[in-house]
Structure 1
Amino acid sequence: MRFRGTYRIVFFFLLSFLFGTKTAFAQQTEPVEILFLGFDHLNQLANGTPQAEVFSSKKQAELAKLNAALKRFAPDMIMVEVEPREQARLDSLFRLYRSGSLRLTDLDGGRSETYQVGFALGKLLNHPRIYGIDHYEATSQSLLSKGKNIELFRQGLQKLQNTARPLKKAVQQDSLSLYDYVVAINRPAMIQLTHRLFYNTPALVINGDFSESGVHSTDLSKLDKAYIGAEFISLFYNRNLKIYSNILTAQLKNRGRKLLVIMGQTHVGVLQDLVEDNPAYKIVSPLSYLEPKK
């Protein structure tokens, strides 16, 4: 009986150890939360009218509301559309901003979401730095201009413009708040509309060419014009793969557990697709903080 009791104690001890170890392991392997917030770049909002000025008291109040909502997510790393090679400059500017020695009105590009949201929120959360994770390669929408089925791409582009431009105009005229504009362009339907235009529809375009006046910053000497639309997609996709790599390596190095990634809205769909295939990460919708359920 004594041995049987001893075995029972050892058995329960082993069960407790195994379940305890499993729980601890599960806690250590909880996926990193990542929230993508897409923008129609704020430094491109101005149209020469006072209503469109990001530094106006009204739009500053709307941005303050946005930052207060994002603060509830409590990110421990804020990532912005700046290349890692510019990190030293970003760190220097953020130190000055945190200390009150830098006003964004005095900064070239100070209207950008990098500063209006990234810097402002980082200061609210007392972060030591803001992380640059961009990889810059310019590609314009007008680059894809010729080829069989080009009208299908143009129809998609027209649909996006007809949807997005009235929203932007409403913000510029102050009939739509900047806060509500950010909410609108981060809705799944809008993300999908943009994503299809740049990463799906162009594949229909074949046997064509790029516009000589279209903007690009990559080597097009080995272009396969038989698959001109696929080549167009590859320009966008290649850039975002490198941005994705920058996000992963920055998180790995700094051990962040809650990431806020602030990018142009056209990046969000493809980055979300990449992250969804990575079990180490969990996507958090910005709408859960910008439009919390009542």
Structure 2
Amino acid sequence: MKFVYFVILTFYSLCLHAQTAQLRQQIDALFDKNTQKPQVLLLGTFHFAGEKVDANTTPTTLRVDMLTPTRQQQIDQLLNQLARFKPTKIAIEASPSSKNYIDSLYTAYCKGEFSGNQRVEADGELLQVGFKLAKRLGHTELFPIDAQAFRLKFSPADSLIMFTKYQQQSDPSFDYWDNHYTRYSSLQDSLKYYSTLQDYLTFLNSAKTQARSIGRWLVTTKRGTNREPIGADGFISRYYNRNLRIYSNIQRLVTSSMDRILVIYGNTHMYILKHLLEASPEFTVVPVTNYLK
């Protein structure tokens, strides 16, 4: 009798397993990975122009000159690697409102009539990577996708109205982690200076480095109280909101399922952008490390 019961139970378990496996397959089929989707390659960068963009952040002895022959050779190698992705569109960290202006500068660059100005530095990543790669690939334009966080007139029910009440709120971890990240930035400056461009970009685009990029802000989300969580709401309304807006600008670039979009952006944005794009059913994210080797 026990044997019969065991056989019945085993048969039932096998049937149940087969049914659940079929259901899982049906669920996966709703988001079929074989469906052609626009592909996105996210290249997190540092500001090539350094102090011209981020004033007083890097010691003079560690500032990288991207116009030296050695660095130019490394940039050329990077362009060769990115060209293998065959992007159909190149998205850049610039305001969409500057599209016509950037188009005019890019047109001048392609004609050999532009080398750089205050808004598009000759040694900046926009010209050194964006313009150069677009010209090499025969693109007629680049696509600015930057955004700023929204600004609202908050009601008394919103915790952000309480910002001034909690901005001086102290916590031992604030100073500890602030010093920690200051040291981290200093070590990054040294690593950037002594590394090749490819090696440093590989470091920047690693999952660990990109996760650390938002850690400094996550420390402060505890500011406030359970009833007035100013730290959490500030993170959402400023940092997360801005990146969500950038993501939505990428969405609006798509004109074909065959699109291959290269996004060249400051690396501190990449953790959330990657998270959003990987969660989206509309895109396939291509690992950038495949193109930094």
The bucket for the TM-score relative to the shorter chain is 0.7 to 0.9
- Does residue 285 in structure 1 map to residue 290 in structure 2? no
Instruction: Please tell me whether the aligned partners of residues 79 and 129 of structure 2 are also in contact (alpha carbons under 8 angstroms).
Output: yes
Matching residue within 183, 189, 212 for 1:162: 183
Name the CA shift for 1:194/1:158 in 2 (closer, same or farther; >3 Å): farther
User: TM-score scaled by structure 2?
Assistant: 0.72
Which residue pairs with 1:120 in the alignment?
Answer: 132
Q: Deviations over 1:241-267 (max 9, x none)?
A: 211111111224x76611111111111
- Does residue 41 in structure 1 map to residue 43 in structure 2? no
Matching residue within 189, 193, 204 for 2:208: 189
Letter in 1 for 2:74: E
Shift of 1:45: 5.5
Please list every run of 5 or more consecutive structure 1 residues that lacks an aligned counterpart in the other structure: 1-25, 208-223
Matching residue within 133, 147, 151 for 2:169: 147
User: TM-score scaled by structure 1?
Assistant: 0.72
Q: In the aligned structure 1, how far is the partner of 2:141 from the partner of 2:291?
A: 23
Which residue pairs with 2:145 in the alignment?
Answer: 133
- Does residue 202 in structure 1 map to residue 220 in structure 2? yes
Residues 161-240 of structure 1 correspond to what in structure 2 (within 5 A)? Answer: 161-172=182-193, 175-198=194-217, 200-206=218-224, 226-233=228-235, 234-240=237-243
Name the CA shift for 1:240/1:50 in 2 (closer, same or farther; >3 Å): closer
Please list every run of 5 or more consecutive structure 2 residues that lacks an aligned counterpart in the other structure: 1-31, 53-58, 151-163
Which residue pairs with 1:272 in the alignment?
Answer: 274
Identity of aligned residues (%): 26
Instruction: Please tell me whether the aligned partners of residues 55 and 105 of structure 1 are also in contact (alpha carbons under 8 angstroms).
Output: no
Name the CA shift for 1:225/1:162 in 2 (closer, same or farther; >3 Å): farther
Q: In the aligned structure 2, how far is the partner of 1:131 from the partner of 1:122?
A: 11
Name the CA shift for 1:48/1:152 in 2 (closer, same or farther; >3 Å): closer
Name the CA shift for 1:255/1:197 in 2 (closer, same or farther; >3 Å): same
Matching residue within 249, 252, 277 for 1:246: 249
Q: In the aligned structure 1, how far is the partner of 2:189 from the partner of 2:70?
A: 16
Q: In the aligned structure 2, how far is the partner of 1:232 from the partner of 1:162?
A: 25
Instruction: Please tell me whether the aligned partners of residues 135 and 243 of structure 1 are also in contact (alpha carbons under 8 angstroms).
Output: yes
Instruction: Please tell me whether the aligned partners of residues 42 and 270 of structure 2 are also in contact (alpha carbons under 8 angstroms).
Output: yes
Letter in 2 for 1:146: Q
Matching residue within 262, 265, 272 for 1:263: 265
Instruction: Please tell me whether the aligned partners of residues 168 and 181 of structure 1 are also in contact (alpha carbons under 8 angstroms).
Output: no
Q: How many residues align?
A: 241
Please give the secondary structure, in 1, of the residue aligned with 2:229: helix
- Does residue 91 in structure 1 map to residue 103 in structure 2? yes
Q: In the aligned structure 2, how far is the partner of 1:94 from the partner of 1:266?
A: 26
Instruction: Please tell me whether the aligned partners of residues 153 and 205 of structure 1 are also in contact (alpha carbons under 8 angstroms).
Output: no
Instruction: Please tell me whether the aligned partners of residues 37 and 258 of structure 2 are also in contact (alpha carbons under 8 angstroms).
Output: no
